[in-house]
Amino acid sequence: MSLTDPNQEALLVARGLRKSFGDNEVLRGIDLTLHRGEVVVLIGPSGSGKTTVLRALNGLETPDAGTIVVAGGPEIDFAPEVKPSPRLQKQKRLALRDRSAMVFQHHNLFPHLTVLENVIEGPWRVQGRPKDEVVVDALALLDRVGLADKADARPHQLSGGQQQRVGIVRALALRPDVLLFDEPTSALDPELVGEVLLVIKELADEGWTMAVVTHELSFAREAADHVLFLDGGVIVEQGPPADLFRAPTHERTQRFLTRIMRPLDGA
């Protein structure tokens, strides 16, 4: 697959996303395209805007400017020319919510609900799909990630890796067009990272379209079609992982990669 393949359908197209928090301009014109079945990995230093990009795509954050189109839906235009009402902005964001599902660094499972109840909460209560259908779906998805026997367990009875796999199932159960992962393994003990990355890699191989913020470079090398390097709210450099990791052209990218590839330096 290549980004320049004209036959590949663009499933998500974001153009010119801008976002400020007070005086802090966090996104300064982000363009991002996800083709169907494509895996895009976002890397960049802390504070560069990676999470804010995903939150904007998922409708959790309202950009100050820019447009987003997902899966042939309407173009959501955040243009600032008309002072928008909060209601209109909310409508725009909500139009994006169902299109993608986000997996967070911390799984955010409800502690008082069972694993199954956590998974069906979104599709049943929020999306309003029939409970029977949603339960069947959820059990099949739990089985898929090796957690069929944990359906009735509470989150605290699971390991961190298992909890994060439930987090992934919860996202899949929403039947989104696009999966968004925000550092899905960075809160895990090192020995649990592999099992979660394996699930994500399998989903990628199955053809899910996804954007993944991660600093697991071996995962990015294997799974990503395209890597974006963000710094200071702009995409400084992008390309296939083999090119970007082997021969980054920008000094900032080089510096960043050197730093994260040698985490023990100076320790």
Rounded Cα distance between 212 and 118, Å, is 23
Nearer to ligand ATP, 47 or 239 (CB): 47
Whichever of 120 and 179 has its CB closer to Mg ion, that residue is 179
Sheet with 65-70, strands from edge to edge, namely 24-35, 10-21, 65-70, 76-77
In the chain, DSSP assigns E strands to: 10-21, 24-35, 39-43, 65-70, 76-77, 100-103, 178-182, 209-213, 226-231, 234-239
Q: Amino acid letter at 248? A: P
Q: Which residue is nearest to Mg ion (CB)?
A: 51
Q: Smallest distance, Å, CB 51 to Mg ion?
A: 3
| Nearest approach, Cβ of residue 4 and Mg ion (Å) | 29
Q: Which is nearer to Mg ion, 51 or 238 (CB)?
A: 51
User: How close are the terminal C-alpha atoms of the chain, in Å?
Assistant: 40
Q: Which of 48, 51, 163, 185 binds Mg ion (CB under 5 A)?
A: 51
Q: Per rule CB under 5 A, is residue 48 in the interface with Mg ion?
A: no
Stretch that binds Mg ion, among 47-55, 146-154, 202-210, 237-245 (CB under 5 A): 47-55
Give, in order, the Cα–Cα distances in Å from 121 to each of 8, 109, 182: 34, 10, 21
Question: Considering only 2-10, 45-53, 72-80, 127-135, which stretch makes contact with Mg ion by CB under 5 A?
Answer: 45-53
Nearer to ligand ATP, 89 or 157 (CB): 89
**Cα–Cα distance for residue pair 209/166, rounded to 1 Å:** 19
Q: Which two tokens stand for residue 16?
A: 């010119």
Q: Which stretch binds Mg ion (CB under 5 A): 29-37, 42-50, 95-103, 162-170?
A: 42-50
How many of the other CB atoms lie within 10 Å of CB of 207?
A: 10
Q: Which residues bind ligand ATP (CB under 6 A)?
A: 21, 24, 26, 44, 46-52
Which residues in the 185-244 window bind Mg ion by CB under 5 A?
A: none
Query: Contact positions toward Mg ion, by CB under 5 A?
Result: 50-51
